[in-house]
Amino acid sequence: MLDTKLKSNNYIINIVVVAVILIASIGMCISYPKIQKDSDKFRNNIFEEEGNFLTDINKINYSLYYKMYEQNGDKKLSPTDVILERNFQKENDEENNGYKYELENLDSEIYNFEKDLNSDFENLEYYAVNKKSNEVKQVTKGKIDDLASKDISSEAMSELKEKYSFYIVLDYDDKGNVNIEKIYGANKENVLNSIQNIQRQDPLNRGYLQDGFDVKPITNMRFVYGVPKNISSDRIASYMHQEENYAYSSASRVYTNIAMIFIVLAGLLIPYKEIKELAGFRKIVNIPLEIASLLVILSITFIYQGVELLIIKSIKGELLTFAQLQFSKDIINILTYSINVIYWFVGFSVVFAGIIILKYIYKSGLKTYIKEKCLVYKTFAYILNKIQIILKWCTNIQLNKKDNKKIITIVGINFMIITLMCSMWFLGILAAIAYSVVLFVMIKKQYNKVTNDYTDLLKVTNEISSGNLDVNTDDDLGTFNLLKDEIGNIQKGFKKAVDEEVKSQKMKTELISNVSHDLKTPLTSIITYVDLLKDKNLSDEKREKYLDTLDRKSQRLQELIEDLFEVSKANSGNVNLNIVDVDIVSLMKQTLLEVDDKIKTSSLNIRNNFPSDKVILKLDSQRMFRVFENLLVNITKYAMEGSRVYIDIFDKDDYVEISLKNMTADEINFNVNELVERFVRGDKSRNTEGSGLGLAIAKSFVELQGGEFDVSIDGDLFKVVIKFAK
């Protein structure tokens, strides 16, 4: 039920977000007629402004004026000879020579402007006449030259107004004063003020020549210019296109801002917990910061540049000109509207995604976001990490090797840095100072670290020398890590030796105590019964009884001494083995027969699991019999009376395993490994008869023959496992 409710909420928030963006997108498309109407309020007349068109007209005036006067008798004058006048007398000094290059550039510019006049101003028709010589320069497709005449009929004027969107007649008198005789398509006063301002400020747009030269005014000229209503692509068309874009952009900005505010407010007002359930939320917030910023900036740019890319072409019906011959007008309108909606939907969606990212940054924290999503930060961190690795590699001195490669690398890096600084001339001195400071800081830091590491290592050695073998040596000592590890090994060795010595001393103490106890018991009995036998009045029956006791105690003492010698020789390795082929199964059965009386006395139930075939191993049969005998006797002493004993022999591919398991009568509440030590019994009170050397002898004999002897307990289950490799 809860899961269904969550899915329903997710569905609703996705619908709401899509609806918000779609409303903003459709709203922009609906505003197109209003944008078209409002654009007239922002449209300026290019024929009235000082920049662009009138500036070009002024240059054209000078270019045509020069063509009228370029020939002075047999001498051809340069544009600067005609147009400029020197305002200083020195002709050969350094200042005059300095203008030569600039004058040549101005001449070249006027020549090129004349050449480009017909190509860059294809829509401009002109007619220029020298009022003194009546020489004419013209490019006209109509009757624009009629405007040069003061007598022109009203019908002719009407025809010109039908054909031209703009025309003007400029008249320059003999003093260079300009007057507008006729004009259409622009305000006469505005145009005249603009032309006069251009002439007064910098008529040739060559301000750096103003100090040395004066621009001569145009005199005794009449210029007629006309721009037809139907124009092709040229510089004038470009000026008109720019002005149109500006007008539409200014008109659309209000509606674009309203749509953007609507999107931003919607993104801010929708709660973050709802935004988190938006489809694709994780993918959006995981976009790297730089890519997300670039996408948002591009989207905002395209949104505000949509006027030129989309709105104007859509309003004029020029967006799908390539499809005009393939589809009907209604289909073209539908496609145009769909493209516009998609365009705005994509742009606003990216902006909305930017709002989502901002809310995510606010919730997660700017610092965390930059660490996780900023590519520049990650790159910088990666580079810094690599530099640290290189520095660590350079400063990590291995005391056990001669690292010539590292020395050569460090010297090579230093050489490249010095070479780079040398190529920087004066800046190299500043770089060398900075490099020296950085190098000093690095060397000082490394020197201090080595000193501190040496001090720490010295403290450790002093502690060890004073007997503290538990001192901590896990700290990173850099250069001295290898030496620290060796000291740590020495520390472990000392500690192990001390532990072994303590254990050995403990064992010696227990050995003396146990041997004294076990030897003293039968010896005391022997002394007592010898004293009793000295009685001359002793009856034959008692004498026989005492002698029997003496015999048993003497044999017990002999067995104890023999076991002591056996384990002593085994531990010293001073044993001669008689290795022959031994059938382990047969030997175990024989041993069971030898101790059968003891098994019956303890009421134990033996369960055997032996292979049907012989299991032959290279062993000393006499000592293996002693091993089995000791283990079985040990079981009869300490196993729970009437319990089951399991004896298994497993013949594996690579080894033979002999396992003996029984339930102990008494709880074993001490370390099981102590059972294989000398004079240790299963009953700590030492109430049972025996030397406590049975398991120790068995373990020694097995290991002397290359086998493994393992003792383990699981609760009250006592288990011995012997393994021999084949």
114 or 430, higher pLDDT: 430
**Which amino acid, residue 35?**
I
**Which pLDDT value is given to residue 413?**
82
- List C-alpha distances in Å: 276 to 270, 353, 449, 673: 10, 12, 49, 63
Residues 274, 366 contacting (CB under 8 angstroms):
no
**Which amino acid, residue 449?**
K
Structure tokens at 637: 């002493």
> How many whole angstroms separate alpha carbon 236 and alpha carbon 228?
11
Name the packing angle between helices 694-704 and 540-572 (round to 10°).
40
> How many whole angstroms separate alpha carbon 227 and alpha carbon 119?
15
Name the packing angle between helices 235-269 and 2-30 (round to 10°).
150
How much is the average pLDDT of 420-427? Answer: 82
CATH superfamily of 576-725: Histidine kinase-like ATPase, C-terminal domain (3.30.565.10)
Phi, psi angles (nearest 5°) of residue 568: -65, -45
**Which pLDDT value is given to residue 247?**
92
% pLDDT > 90, the chain:
31
Q: How many helices (H) and strands (E) does the chain have?
A: 24, 16
How much is the average pLDDT of 353-374? Answer: 91
- Of the listed ranges 11-15, 233-237, 401-405, 434-438, the one predicted with least confidence: 401-405
> How many whole angstroms separate alpha carbon 275 and alpha carbon 262?
17
Model pTM score: 0.56
> How many whole angstroms separate alpha carbon 570 and alpha carbon 578?
14
Structure tokens at 96: 């005059």
Q: Are strands 213-215 and 708-714 parallel, antiparallel or unpaired?
A: unpaired
**Which pLDDT value is given to residue 178?**
93
Domain boundaries, the chain: 2-30+240-373, 53-232, 424-574, 576-725
Which band of pLDDT confidence, cut at 50, 70 and 90, is reported for residue 566? Answer: low
Task: Please determine whether the domains at 424-574 and 576-725 fall in the same fold group of CATH.
Answer: no
**Which pLDDT value is given to residue 4?**
54
Write the DSSP string, 25-56.
HHHHHHTHHHHHHHHHHH---TTTSTTTHHHH
* Distance from the Cα of residue 57 to its chain's centroid: 60
- Out of 1.10.287.130, 3.90.1640.30, 3.40.50.1000, 3.40.80.10, the CATH code matching 424-574 is 1.10.287.130
> How many whole angstroms separate alpha carbon 139 and alpha carbon 224?
10
How much is the average pLDDT of 51-73? Answer: 86
- Over the stretch 457-511, which tens digit does the pLDDT of each residue have? 787 778 777 777 677 767 776 666 677 677 777 777 777 777 777 766 665 565 5
- List C-alpha distances in Å: 408 to 9, 412, 567: 66, 6, 64
The mean pLDDT of the chain is: 82
How much is the average pLDDT of 597-622? Answer: 90
- At 529 the three-state DSSP class reads helix
- Over the stretch 204-243, which tens digit does the pLDDT of each residue have? 765 545 556 778 889 999 999 999 998 888 999 999 989 9
> How many whole angstroms separate alpha carbon 529 and alpha carbon 150?
172
**Which pLDDT value is given to residue 257?**
94
* Number of residues that make up the chain: 726
Phi, psi angles (nearest 5°) of residue 400: -95, 5
Residues 35, 255 contacting (CB under 8 angstroms):
yes
Structure tokens at 467: 């007997």
